[in-house]
Amino acid sequence: MRILYFTHGDTVHDRRFLQRIKEFGHEAWSLRLSEAGRARSDEDRASGALRASWPKGTPFAEGPDGMQDLLPAFLEVLADVRPQLVHAGPVQSCGYLTAMSEFHPFLLMSWGSDLLVDAERDAAWRRSTSIALQGSDLLLCDSTAVRSKAHALVGYDDSRIIQFPWGVNLHAFRPGADQRGLRHRLGWDDSFIVLSTRSWEPIYGIDTLLEAFRRAHAKESRIKLILLGSGS
């Protein structure tokens, strides 16, 4: 199957989706919204997917208001690639544009904050969210919160929602010997350590994590918290 994977930029998550599409024997094409205006067509070295081209002169656009102007160019991309499936997200940009093209079958992928936060920004964002959801054949999400939000916004049919699980492959990642001696150096040999890898941004609820840790530590002082990363 020839699949057009349409996303905003180039993240490690995008590359992993494209790699898995190829591993399952499909023909993967990548189209990036951020590359509108920079026509190119070659292999995406990071994922092995083919890179779709925007027509020359296509202006870059952001947010739902700019997607209408991109529609003619996107229709040209569809005519050139001739995909059998479009996998698109975030909702109010790539998803909205795909819905306006009336292409089917269309797999809409939520990136979480697009439905949980952006869907309520203003009338334009609410409208684009509704059109994207109602124009899709399936919705791919990664949490029950996003699934519930799709239900609340447009009454999205639960049978058309695919929720993939979060988790750890315990065959690849499992507790072992503390070869770096970090616990001992910190004096935490008998501690229960919580490790957070989220960026320090409001959207990730770091304040909630800190308050939860404060309450837990007040009851059990052996609990320790390590915050990796950085942020505002």
pLDDT digits (tens, 9 = 90+) for 201-224: 888 889 999 999 999 999 999 999
Closest CA to 77 of 132, 30, 15, 27: 30
Task: Please name the residue that has the structure tokens 């509704």.
Answer: 130
When mean pLDDT is compared across 29-43, 76-90, 98-112, 209-223, the lowest value belongs to: 29-43
User: Which of 41-50, 116-125, 139-148, 171-180 has the lowest average pLDDT?
Assistant: 41-50
Residue 40 has pLDDT above 60, yes or no: no
**DSSP β-bridge partners for residue 3:** 28, 85
pLDDT tens-place string over residues 29-39: 999 999 886 65
Tokens 């529609």 sit on residue: 71
Are the C-beta atoms of residues 33 and 9 closer than 8 Å to each other? yes
Let me know: does 47 contact 18? Beta carbons within 8 Å: yes
pLDDT at 134: 98
**46 falls in which pLDDT band (50, 70, 90)?**
low
Kindly state the average pLDDT of the residues 189-198: 91
Q: Which pLDDT does position 184 carry in this prediction?
A: 87
**Could you tell me the pLDDT band of residue 44, with boundaries at 50, 70 and 90?**
low
> Where in the chain does DSSP place strands (E)?
2-7, 27-32, 50-51, 85-88, 106-109, 138-141, 161-163, 192-196, 223-227
Q: Is the pTM of this model over 0.85?
A: no
pLDDT tens digits, residue range 121-158? 999 999 999 999 999 999 999 999 999 999 999 999 99
